[in-house]
């Protein structure tokens, strides 16, 4: 463990915002927390948990301690005829984990391929794509309390998973550092492809469903994401900037009466999820530019850094987009990205 002062973290946020933190430290063991807390200067400062910064927008330098979990072990902890229980360190790259599982012909994570970030960030945000969410395969999470270093464990039902949220993003934000995540995956013969997302189903329509492998789904998802989303290596971004709004059945019917057919996903609880990208396009905000930032022409849900933008410029553009959607549809888009 090495504590670094006045540390630049531009490379640790996919928006590529130039920023730094007063102190930066990577931890891999429970004992590291005790050591850090014994330093009175560090203990008196606010602590901010980070992964790979793929869901963060910095608007200023961090005046405290940025802490990142670097524990990167992958271990099979249990298996039976149909399933595999995999314990994964929070510091493992998420996409590399998905690659590892599909190469072993295990079902469960293939729809979540090519999502940037770390394993530790996946349950915090309850990442989701193509009809799958992280919570679908997570059985338990071990985390470290940043105040006393104690290890705490949560079963799936205790994590309060919701749409792009969890207990770790809400009441335990910057208090519990995810250390290990256990996933239950299915062996090849015991699972099947999740093709509820229409573009994915159409991409694989030439294959019989019982012939599709996890690798097939993985390859399709990677292709679709590369085709639809701008690469942060060229234009800094954090993927989807806004959440897809969820409305009541009555409000959805009222919207359709005013605006015609609206794409949607009817949820099990009777509510309707509406694609935020469609709302932004219909409001005329796709391609909108403000200084060094813009709404991507490739995907309206992505705000991009065109050069050397400041974080506040991206916030200002987000407000413009929210205003346009509110004016046309009466809906307020909520950010999916954490703004610091």
Catalytic residues: 164, 240, 336
3-state secondary structure of 164: coil
Strands (E), 90-149: 106-107, 128-129, 132-133, 138-145
- 100 CB-near residues (< 8 Å, 6+ apart): 74
Q: Compute the half-sphere exposure of residue 232: CA atoms within 13 Å on the CB side of its CA.
A: 23
- Cβ(75)–Cβ(175) under 8 Å? no
- Cβ(49)–Cβ(12) under 8 Å? no
Cα 182 to its chain centre, rounded Å, is 17
- Cβ(14)–Cβ(53) under 8 Å? yes
Task: Quickly tell me which residue has 């789904």 as its tokens.
Answer: 217
Q: What's the rounded Cα separation, in Å, for the pair 284 and 327?
A: 11
- Cβ(123)–Cβ(178) under 8 Å? yes
- What is the DSSP annotation of 92-107? SBHHHHHHHHHHTTEE
Q: What's the rounded Cα separation, in Å, for the pair 285 and 278?
A: 10
- Buried b / exposed e over 191-229, threshold 16 CB at 10 Å, is bebbbebeebbebbeeeeeeebebebbbbbbbebbeeeb
């Amino acid at each position: 463990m090495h504590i670094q002062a006045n540390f630049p973290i531009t490379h640790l946020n996919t928006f590529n915002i130039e920023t730094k933190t007063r102190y930066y430290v990577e931890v891999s063991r429970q004992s590291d927390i005790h050591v850090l807390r014994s330093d009175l200067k560090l203990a008196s400062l606010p602590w901010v948990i980070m992964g790979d910064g793929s869901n963060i927008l910095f608007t200023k330098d961090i005046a405290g301690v940025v802490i990142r979990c670097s524990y990167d072990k992958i271990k099979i902890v249990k298996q039976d005829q149909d399933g595999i229980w995999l314990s994964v360190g929070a510091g493992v790259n998420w996409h590399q984990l998905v690659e590892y599982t599909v190469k072993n012909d295990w079902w469960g994570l293939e729809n979540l391929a090519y999502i940037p970030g770390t394993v530790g960030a996946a349950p915090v945000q309850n990442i989701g794509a193509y009809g799958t969410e992280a919570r679908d395969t997570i059985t338990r999470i071990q985390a470290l309390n940043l105040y006393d270093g104690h290890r705490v464990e949560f079963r799936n039902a205790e994590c309060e998973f919701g749409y792009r949220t969890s207990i770790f993003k809400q009441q335990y934000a910057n208090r519990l550092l995810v250390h290990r995540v256990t996933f239950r995956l299915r062996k090849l013969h015991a699972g099947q492809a999740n093709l509820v997302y229409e573009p994915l189903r159409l991409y694989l329509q030439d294959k019989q469903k019982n012939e599709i492998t996890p690798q097939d789904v993985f390859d399709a998802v990677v292709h679709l994401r590369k085709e639809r989303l701008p690469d942060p290596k060229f234009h800094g971004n954090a993927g989807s900037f806004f959440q897809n709004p969820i409305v009541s059945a009555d409000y959805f019917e009222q919207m359709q009466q005013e605006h015609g057919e609206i794409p949607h996903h009817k949820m099990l609880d009777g509510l309707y999820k509406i694609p935020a990208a469609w709302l932004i396009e219909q409001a005329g905000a796709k391609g909108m530019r403000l200084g060094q930032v813009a709404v991507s022409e490739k995907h309206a849900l992505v705000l991009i850094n065109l050069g050397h933008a400041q974080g506040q410029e991206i916030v200002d553009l987000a407000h413009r987009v929210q205003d346009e959607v509110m004016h046309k549809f009466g809906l307020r888009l909520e950010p999916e990205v954490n703004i610091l």
